[in-house]
């Protein structure tokens, strides 16, 4: 997805051009240990967004 977008944004094809950036989104559903599912509802999610920035001075591949 584009850098700065939320996880519901459209997917983009990342480029490795110097100075470009894109984001990687990970959504994970998890269970709380020792807590019955009827108490927490079983809908516990965590979302992580990692922004990848390609170095401005990245050299060309050999």
Q: pLDDT for 19-37, tens place per residue?
A: 899 999 999 988 888 887 7
Q: What is the pLDDT of residue 29?
A: 87
> Is 22 a member of any domain?
yes
CA-wise closest residue to 21 among 43, 51, 44: 51
pTM attached to this predicted model: 0.65
DSSP track, 4-39: T--TTSPP------TT-EEEEEEEEEE--TT--HHH
Q: pLDDT for 41-52, tens place per residue?
A: 777 889 999 999
* Strand pairing report for 44-53 and 21-30: antiparallel
> Is 61 a member of any domain?
no
Task: Count structural domains, the chain.
Answer: 1
Query: Range of 18's domain?
Result: 1-54
> What separation, in Å, do the N-terminal and C-terminal C-alpha atoms of the chain show?
28
Calculate mean pLDDT across residues 6-22.
Answer: 87
> Is 29 a member of any domain?
yes
């Amino acid at each position: 997805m584009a850098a700065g977008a939320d996880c519901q944004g459209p997917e983009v094809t990342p480029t490795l051009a110097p100075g470009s950036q894109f984001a990687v989104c990970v959504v994970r559903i998890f269970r709380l240990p020792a807590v019955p599912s009827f108490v927490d509802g079983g809908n516990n999610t965590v979302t992580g967004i990692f922004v990848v920035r390609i170095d401005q001075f990245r050299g060309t591949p050999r």
